[in-house]
Amino acid sequence: MERLPAVFFAHGSPMSALGGDAHATALAAFGARHSGAKGILVISAHWQQSRPLRVTSWDRAPLLYDFGGFPEELYRIAYPAPGSPLLAVRVAGVLEAGGQAVRPQPDRGLDHGAWVPMKLAWPAATTPVLELSMPFATPEELFQIGKALRPLRDDGFLVAGTGGIVHNLSRARIENKDAPVDPWAAEFDSWVAAQVAARNLEGLFAYRSTAPHARLSVPTTEHFDPLFVVLGMSFPGERVETIYAGFHYGNLSMRSFSFSI
């Protein structure tokens, strides 16, 4: 079986779910090229939970509208993807074999960090989608979770982390999606992209002290942390494909990329 990519998706604002921009077009094109997965496993910035890890184990994936103050049409969006208790058992088995304790979670829906990029990339909602919780952990520990997930990529799973390279909502100019990009955000985003391309894990693990404008770009770590899980899922020597690079609202990075053979 062909090894499927490990992906980092920027999910952006919930408004991204409405599509109609270059980011949405890029995710749709990526999804069209990678439509044969037997399951998609998502690690989202919006499901941080203390250990043990949790994996959703429902038959049908309900949605969480975990945001407020947005247009009513966002709360009417449906994404009726199936879940799969059987695939959840497979995910749990792989994680446990990698030394990661995990429990089934039968009563949590997909948060918008998961369903927004899934809807953009795979709008038909026919592939089973499962979500894995993300613990409060160091970059090195998150990397090890990703490393434990590697066998899934050779077993028909596409595995994706979703968040954002630059995510500082206090600085986002939400009145203008196409606002000029702040230089500090562009510099940090470019630095991360270069370190990912070079697989400079040591520098990335220590990004808060080594990267330019790190604390301004990542005031809280939850949107950046899925990157380390994705890095762990990547195999040495794989190439990095940029799915999309750009910004919304002046400094919200929408950079999305994948690792593949």
- What's the predicted TM-score (pTM) here? 0.97
- Residues 37-70 pLDDT 10s: 999 999 999 999 999 999 999 998 789 999 999 9
Q: Compute CA distances 116 → 2, 102, 156, 231, whole Å.
A: 26, 25, 22, 22
Is the domain covering 6-260 a CATH 3.40.640.10 domain?
no
Helix (H) or strand (E) holding 81: none
| pLDDT above 90 for 129 | yes
Say if strands 102-105 and 53-56 run parallel, antiparallel, or are unpaired.
parallel
| pLDDT band (50, 70, 90) for residue 150 | very high
Task: Judge if the upstream peptide bond of residue 128 is cis by omega within 30 degrees of 0.
Answer: no
| pLDDT band (50, 70, 90) for residue 35 | very high
